[in-house]
């Protein structure tokens, strides 16, 4: 089994991609939250 | 590795059982899709249904056939094949359970569908009391659920047999079978809620044995089941994403333990969250609503983990193929392979789907969208794109694998074409639904000008857009049915692979705790008792006089 | 179990975001009182017309309460009583509603007023109507064939504007 310490793989693209997903989630949520605050 | 040392070909007797389920699923797709097409036409205001057929009747057909029948039958067909492929051929008695389950579910479906077609059960697929359907409708749904227990037990028994035979071998159980068992256990626990409601409330009530039902209780029991239902749909898609796609793209499963952990998190957090569907209704206190909102947010975490696992699986493979730079790996993926491309579209759809879901669950913000057509747009991204496109892509290799045929190049290309059509149609339809929903357009509503109100007038262009998108989606359904028919009966004979991925060498060992079902089930039961005891006690203790049944259609 | 460094970053970021959402919602709810409908009062839905305030549906000005107006709505298949609601701009209004038969919705399109009406339960929501306009009220829970015939109108009028 390959459990000895190996350097982490290069997953920089994945890091950017998931953070992109995260930003989209935040943008949509903030947009809807604003709509909610504006309405009575 | 333990994952791949089993049979590579599903036994033909198991294949027959799996295919029986898959046939029913795709018949449901065709009929349910047709009902959907009629709906978007009606809502565009340009079309009226002939022969006295009601809008809500076809809406019931659409919801029952696609939400309950297509999903459950495809899931079982896929799961039977998966367990047989990774744990080994079913014993005769396990397979018999599978067939008994299949026939119970099929008879139940036929019974419920008959009542819907006779207009005796136009209660939509959520059948909220005090609208009262014909008792045969409830009995039919009961048979579907009981059948799913019997068939699901057969799958679990095969997995248990593997565990017994490999005791002390130090191997982790086959990942795909493990995932099937998690999904079935979640299903069993969740369906208890709806079973209690149907058996002790709705069925005796519709038969006239009891006069009244507690509406709040029946709704709470329904939603105890209802949110886990959506995870029951989603987890088989995750199985394909985690286990099948790595093999399809020539890569490896990013991490066995992360896959198992995310499934166990789904198991424990899928059920004690149903009240987030009841945020705008009376009779449940703010505290308990908010607690279930927090638990709902917890069930987002395994999906965040999945997002990273997917990207990493792709990136590792793309870099192996020589992709350079930050995103060069992306271009190296097998875009022409429908077994990858079609579920990839599904994954992309799950991003806005999931983001919208977080808004839905956000306690007071739920008022913005509750029962508006935003919600319909939301679950057409999650279930009706992410999940079903993944199922369809699996059908592209599973059906020929089971029928001894092959996915030809032209059928593969047609599959990709259907995926593009679906993406196009759904982008139009779902976006229009989301936007109109924020303006307040209600879901589950016939065409109406609402007395000439300006706001209702503003919704109509979006309803026309939904009809355009819906039409494209129906064309996509026809293409998919064509592919399925070809693969089942006409494609060239041969061997089609059932792809099962292996774990990446850096994936690390899987802790034994992730295979200890007892521990996770105890946590699940504890969470359910925590999240539901007081709300249900409150509902019963403070209940107003119960409701008589109404037939208002 | 091995977690990639970047996956840790992502999970920390994701979970922090979710916790931040929950804190914002929680403060809004439990500090500022922004709850959805959580009515807990019950009644006998078959005798609802004898039960105050539903013996007198309509718009009522009230004194000595935390709100200025009470709007009492009785929903039944496929009708809202009153069929139209008029309140002055800036008033704090409590909507009190229930159903006489099956489940109905009470959604004021373009606002946050969105409640399920359940037979036997009183749904309540308090808000300050701070925008002039005509807001369509729709039933957003399927209640039978006439579901979309079930609508009403909330008119928020500026009392300073002469008619």
SS (HEC) of A14-40: HHHHHHHHHHHHHHHHHHHHHHHHHCC
Quick check: A14 and B355 CB within 8 A? no
State the Cα–Cα distance between residues B515 and B83, nearest whole angstrom.
Answer: 16
Residue B222: name the closest of B264, B193, B202 by CA.
B193
Rounded-to-10 torsion of CA B179, B345, B304, B190: -40
Kindly report which listed range (A27-36, B166-175, C62-71) carries the lowest average pLDDT score.
B166-175
Q: Does B48 touch chain A (CB under 8 A)?
A: no
pLDDT over threshold 60, residue B477: yes
pLDDT over threshold 70, residue B7: no
pLDDT over threshold 50, residue A1: no
High-pLDDT (> 70) share of chain C, %: 99
Provide the β-strand partners of residue B442: B372
Q: What is the pLDDT of residue C162?
A: 57
Q: What is the pLDDT of residue A9?
A: 80
Q: Does A23 touch chain B (CB under 8 A)?
A: no
Q: Does A25 touch chain C (CB under 8 A)?
A: yes
Q: What is the pLDDT of residue B168?
A: 85
b/e per residue B269-306 (b: at least 16 CB within 10 A) = bbbbbbbbbbbbbbbbebebbbbbbbbbbbbbbbbbbb
Averaged pLDDT for residues B329-333: 95
Averaged pLDDT for residues C74-93: 96
Residue B468 to chain A, least CA–CA distance (Å)? 25
Cβ–Cβ under 8 Å, residues B477 and B40: no
Q: What is the pLDDT of residue B146?
A: 97
**pLDDT per residue over B65-111, tens digit each?**
999 999 999 999 999 999 999 999 999 999 999 999 999 999 999 99
State the Cα–Cα distance between residues B272 and B403, nearest whole angstrom.
Answer: 40
DSSP B500-529: ---B-TTS-PPPGGGG-HHHHHHHHHHHHH
State the Cα–Cα distance between residues B419 and B198, nearest whole angstrom.
Answer: 38
State the Cα–Cα distance between residues B449 and C148, nearest whole angstrom.
Answer: 9
Cβ–Cβ under 8 Å, residues C71 and C47: no
Which chains have 3 or more CB–CB distances shorter than 8 Å to chain A?
Answer: B, C
Mean of the per-residue pLDDT values for chain B? 95
Q: What is the pLDDT of residue B50?
A: 87
Residue B471 to chain C, least CA–CA distance (Å)? 24
Residue of B nearest to C26 (CA): B290
Averaged pLDDT for residues A27-31: 98
Kindly report which listed range (A8-17, B289-298, C18-27) carries the lowest average pLDDT score.
A8-17
Q: Please identify which residue in the block is written with the tokens 């959604």.
A: C107
pLDDT over threshold 80, residue A10: yes
Which chains have 3 or more CB–CB distances shorter than 8 Å to chain B?
Answer: A, C
Kindly report which listed range (B188-202, B307-321, B499-513, C105-119) carries the lowest average pLDDT score.
B499-513
pLDDT over threshold 60, residue B159: yes
**pLDDT per residue over B429-457, tens digit each?**
999 999 999 999 999 999 999 999 999 99
Place B20 in a pLDDT band, splitting at 50, 70 and 90: very high
Averaged pLDDT for residues C2-24: 95
Mean of the per-residue pLDDT values for chain C? 95
State the Cα–Cα distance between residues B296 and B207, nearest whole angstrom.
Answer: 36
Q: What is the pLDDT of residue B136?
A: 97
User: Which backbone phi and psi does C81 adopt, to 5 degrees?
Assistant: -120, 120
Q: What is the pLDDT of residue B4?
A: 44
Name chain B contacts of C34, Cβ cutoff 8 Å.
Answer: 364
Q: Is B456 exposed, middle or buried (0-12, 13-18, 19+ CB in 10 A)?
A: buried
Cis amide leading into C53 (omega within 30): yes
Place C59 in a pLDDT band, splitting at 50, 70 and 90: very high
Q: What is the pLDDT of residue C160?
A: 87
Q: What is the pLDDT of residue B504?
A: 81
A 10 A CB-CB count for B401 gives 25
Q: Does B169 touch chain C (CB under 8 A)?
A: no
Provide the β-strand partners of residue C61: C69
pLDDT over threshold 80, residue A7: no
pLDDT over threshold 50, residue B6: no
High-pLDDT (> 70) share of chain B, %: 99
Dihedral sign of CA atoms B474, B476, B479, B480 in order: negative
Name chain B contacts of C110, Cβ cutoff 8 Å.
Answer: 439-440, 455
Cβ–Cβ under 8 Å, residues B538 and B284: yes
Q: What is the pLDDT of residue C57?
A: 96
Q: What is the pLDDT of residue C1?
A: 72
Residue C136 to chain B, least CA–CA distance (Å)? 7
Model confidence pTM above 0.80 = yes
Contacts of residue B32, Cβ cutoff 8 Å, sequence gap at least 6: B61, B62, B64, B65, B66, B69, B70
State the Cα–Cα distance between residues B429 and B423, nearest whole angstrom.
Answer: 10
**pLDDT per residue over B114-156, tens digit each?**
999 999 999 999 999 999 999 999 999 999 999 999 999 999 9
Q: How far is CA C31 from CA B9, B64, B275, B397, C27, in A?
A: 60, 42, 22, 55, 5
Name chain C contacts of B508, Cβ cutoff 8 Å.
Answer: 1-2
State the Cα–Cα distance between residues B26 and B486, nearest whole angstrom.
Answer: 13
Catalytically active residues of B are 227, 231, 378-380, 443-444
State the Cα–Cα distance between residues B370 and C103, nearest whole angstrom.
Answer: 14
Write down the ipTM of this complex.
0.96
pLDDT over threshold 50, residue B537: yes
Q: What is the pLDDT of residue A2?
A: 42
pLDDT over threshold 70, residue B2: no
Cis amide leading into C82 (omega within 30): yes
Dihedral sign of CA atoms B477, B480, B484, B490 in order: positive
3-state DSSP helix/strand/coil percent for chain B, to nearest 5? 75, 0, 25
Place B46 in a pLDDT band, splitting at 50, 70 and 90: confident
Question: What Rg do the C-alpha atoms of chain B give, in angstroms?
Answer: 23
Residue B144: name the closest of B36, B240, B27, B24 by CA.
B24
State the Cα–Cα distance between residues B211 and B209, nearest whole angstrom.
Answer: 7
Q: Does B368 touch chain A (CB under 8 A)?
A: yes
Q: Does B356 touch chain A (CB under 8 A)?
A: yes
Residue A24 to chain C, least CA–CA distance (Å)? 12
pLDDT over threshold 50, residue A38: yes
High-pLDDT (> 90) share of chain B, %: 93
Cβ–Cβ under 8 Å, residues B270 and B231: yes
Q: What is the pLDDT of residue B156?
A: 98
Name chain B contacts of C118, Cβ cutoff 8 Å.
Answer: 215-216, 219, 281-283
pLDDT over threshold 50, residue B240: yes
Residue B243: name the closest of B498, B71, B70, B419 by CA.
B498
| Higher pLDDT, residue C32 or B168 | C32
State the Cα–Cα distance between residues B198 and B206, nearest whole angstrom.
Answer: 10
Q: What is the pLDDT of residue B283?
A: 95
């Amino acid at each position: 089994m390959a459990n000895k310490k190996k350097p982490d793989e290069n997953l920089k693209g994945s890091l950017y991609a998931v953070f992109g997903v995260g930003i989209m989630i935040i943008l949509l949520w903030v947009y809807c939250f604003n709509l909610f605050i504006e309405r009575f | 590795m333990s994952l791949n040392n089993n049979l590579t070909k599903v036994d033909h007797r198991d294949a027959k059982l799996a295919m029986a389920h898959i046939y029913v699923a795709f018949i449901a797709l065709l009929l349910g899709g047709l009902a959907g097409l009629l709906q978007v036409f009606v809502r565009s205001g340009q079309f009226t249904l002939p022969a006295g057929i009601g809008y809500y009747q076809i809406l019931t057909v659409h919801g029952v056939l696609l939400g309950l029948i297509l999903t459950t039958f495809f899931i079982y067909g896929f799961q039977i094949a998966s367990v047989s492929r990774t744990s080994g051929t079913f014993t005769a008695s396990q397979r018999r359970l599978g067939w008994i389950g299949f026939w119970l579910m099929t008879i139940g479906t036929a019974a419920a569908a008959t009542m819907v077609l006779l207009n005796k059960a136009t209660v939509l697929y959520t059948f909220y009391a005090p609208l009262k359907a014909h008792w045969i409708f409830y009995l039919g749904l009961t048979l579907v659920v009981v059948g799913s227990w019997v068939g699901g037990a057969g799958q679990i028994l095969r997995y248990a047999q593997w565990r017994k035979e490999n005791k002390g071998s130090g191997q982790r159980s086959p990942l795909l079978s493990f995932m099937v068992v998690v999904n079935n256990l979640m299903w069993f626990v969740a369906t208890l809620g709806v079973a209690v409601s149907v058996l002790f409330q709705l069925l005796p009530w519709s038969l006239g044995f009891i006069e009244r039902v507690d509406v709040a209780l029946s709704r709470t029991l329904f939603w105890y089941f209802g949110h886990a239902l959506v995870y029951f749909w989603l987890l088989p898609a995750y199985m394909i994403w985690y286990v099948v796609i790595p093999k399809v793209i020539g890569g490896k499963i990013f991490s066995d333990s992360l896959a198992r952990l995310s499934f166990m998190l789904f198991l424990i957090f899928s059920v004690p969250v149903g009240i987030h569907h009841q945020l705008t209704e009376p009779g449940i206190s703010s505290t308990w609503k908010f607690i279930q909102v927090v638990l709902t947010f917890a069930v987002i975490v395994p999906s965040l983990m999945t997002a990273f696992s997917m990207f990493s699986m792709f990136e590792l493979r793309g870099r192996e193929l020589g992709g350079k730079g930050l995103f060069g790996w992306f271009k190296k993926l097998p875009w022409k392979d429908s077994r990858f491309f079609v579920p990839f579209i599904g994954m992309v759809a799950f991003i806005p789907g999931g983001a919208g879901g977080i808004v839905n669950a956000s306690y007071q913000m739920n008022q913005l969208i509750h029962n508006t057509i935003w919600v319909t747009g939301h679950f057409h991204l999650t279930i009706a794109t992410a999940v079903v496109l993944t199922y369809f892509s699996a059908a592209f290799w599973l059906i020929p694998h089971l029928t001894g045929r092959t996915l030809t190049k032209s059928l593969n290309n047609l599959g990709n074409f259907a995926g593009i059509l679906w993406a196009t149609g759904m982008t139009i339809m779902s976006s229009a639904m989301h936007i109109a929903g924020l303006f307040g357009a209600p879901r589950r509503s016939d065409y109406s000008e609402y007395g000439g109100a300006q706001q209702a007038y503003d919704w109509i262009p979006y309803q026309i857009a939904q009809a355009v998108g819906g039409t494209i989606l129906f064309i996509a359904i026809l293409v998919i049915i064509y592919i399925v028919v070809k693969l089942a009966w006409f494609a060239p004979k041969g061997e089609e692979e059932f792809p099962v991925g292996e774990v990446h060498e850096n994936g690390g060992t899987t802790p034994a705790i992730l295979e200890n079902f007892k521990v996770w089930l105890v946590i699940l039961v504890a969470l359910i008792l925590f999240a539901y005891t007081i709300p249900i006690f409150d509902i019963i203790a403070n209940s107003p006089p119960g409701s008589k049944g109404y037939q208002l259609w | 179990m091995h977690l990639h460094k970047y996956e840790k970053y992502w999970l920390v970021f994701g979970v922090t975001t979710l916790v931040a959402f929950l804190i914002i919602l929680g403060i809004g709810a439990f500090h500022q009182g922004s709850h959805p409908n959580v009515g807990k009062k019950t009644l006998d839905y078959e005798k609802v017309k004898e039960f105050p305030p539903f013996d007198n549906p309509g718009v009522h000005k009230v004194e000595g309460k935390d709100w200025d107006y009470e709007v009492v709505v009785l929903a039944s298949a496929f009708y809202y009583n009153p069929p139209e609601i008029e309140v002055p701009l800036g008033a704090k209004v409590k909507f009190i509603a229930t159903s006489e038969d099956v489940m109905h919705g009470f959604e004021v399109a373009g606002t946050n007023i969105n409640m399920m009406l359940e037979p036997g339960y009183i749904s309540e929501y308090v808000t300050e109507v701070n925008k002039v306009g005509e807001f369509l009220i729709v039933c957003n829970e399927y209640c039978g064939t006439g579901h979309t015939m079930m609508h009403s109108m909330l008119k928020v009028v500026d009392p300073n504007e002469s008619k």
